[in-house]
Amino acid sequence: MFAVGMGVLLFAFSSQNRANSGNRTRSGLICALAVGVMIAMWADFATEFTWPNLQHASHFYAVVSTPFPLLLLLAARASKVRAGATIAAATYMFIYIGMILVLPLFPAHPKLAPVYHPVDHMVPPAFPLLLIVPAVAIDVISWLFTRSSKSIAQPPASPGATLPRPRWWRDWLLALLFAAVFLAIIFAVQWPFSTFLLSDGADNRFFARSGHWPYFAKPGDWVNRFWDWDNDPITFKGMALAFLRAFISARVGLLLGSYLLRLKR
């Protein structure tokens, strides 16, 4: 599955770079949508670490800081469309919300014991992460950086003057900035939002507080409380590890994005 997704991603970006100017925006949109599908795939791989019940634990922030900055920055840098990261994050959320709304419409019954939680329909995933919020910030920062870079790289006034060379350390500083912004925003939005997802206000078809539990999960008050609150609290060490992961992920995302901009075949 992952290999197929990567193949589609490479094909989409190579087609974008070979497209003429009239089709480049449409090709860039397709690339951003393809990255959104990859985000949804990675979110599926990380499901067991990203339940709403785990979003007050330190390990959750280390997990989400590993794949998602890479993919969001890849979309922001390599897709030739405005708001590439936002489009990718919105695609991921649209896929998950679509599954939440559509899957329960199909009847299904468990055929393998033990059945602790009777269900009569297909079970959807939990509500998606609010990645669209840090994605908007990434797009804004990318736009501001591109604008400032263009103003710095204006043609020289005299014929003999040379253009300034691009500084190699800029992407490293950008990776630090993106990592800090991503981690700060995802903490600010997911901490209170996970509290809401475990409350009675989320017990409906859209947020699916109680709709995503499988048939082998024993009912109890544990489904509506936070786990690992005592064993894995938010600490400076835990958040430093999450920041390190976000920094490495962001730097790799910028590097891959620059490579995909040059990919032709």
Angle, helix 132-152 to helix 68-78, in steps of 10 degrees:
40
Q: Write out pLDDT tens, residues 55-99.
A: 999 999 999 999 999 999 999 999 988 899 999 999 999 999 999
- Residue length of the chain: 265
**Residue linked to tokens 């901009």:** 261
For the entire predicted model, the pTM comes to: 0.89
Cβ-contact 28, 80 below 8 angstroms: yes
pLDDT of 114: 85
* Confidence at residue 165, expressed as pLDDT on a 0 to 100 scale: 56
34 within 8 A of 260, measured Cβ to Cβ: no
Q: 3-state SS of the chain?
A: CHHHHHHHHHHHHHHHHHCCCCCHHHHHHHHHHHHHHHHHHHHHHCHHHCCHHHCCCHHHHHHHCCCHHHHHHHHHHHCCCCCHHHHHHHHHHHHHHHHHHHHHHCECCCCCCCCCCCCCECCCCCCCCCCHHHHHHHHHHHHHHHHHHHHHCCCCCCCCCCCCCCCCCHHHHHHHHHHHHHHHHHHHHHHHHHHHHCCHHHCCCCCCCCCCCCCCCCCCHHHHCCCCCCCCCCCHHHHHHHHHHHHHHHHHHHHHHHHHHHCCC
* Mean of per-residue pLDDT scores for the chain: 88
pLDDT at residue 67 in the model: 95
Q: What percent of the chain has pLDDT over 70?
A: 92
Q: What is the pLDDT of residue 168?
A: 65
Q: Are 189 and 133 in contact (CB under 8 A)?
A: yes
pLDDT band per the 50, 70, 90 thresholds, residue 11: confident
- Per-residue pLDDT at 214: 82
CA distances from 234 to 47, 49, 61, 251 (A): 20, 15, 9, 25
pLDDT over 80 at 191, yes or no: yes
Q: Per-domain residue ranges for the chain?
A: 2-149+168-262
Peptide bond into 69 cis (omega under 30): no
Quote the pLDDT of residue 153.
52
Diameter over CA atoms, the chain = 80
CA distance 159 to 182: 43
Per-residue model confidence (pLDDT) at position 40: 96
Instruction: List, for residues 18-64, the tens digit of each pLDDT value.
Output: 888 777 788 889 999 999 999 999 999 999 999 999 999 999 999 99
Write the pLDDT tens digit of every residue in 127-162.
Answer: 999 999 999 999 999 999 887 766 555 555 555 555
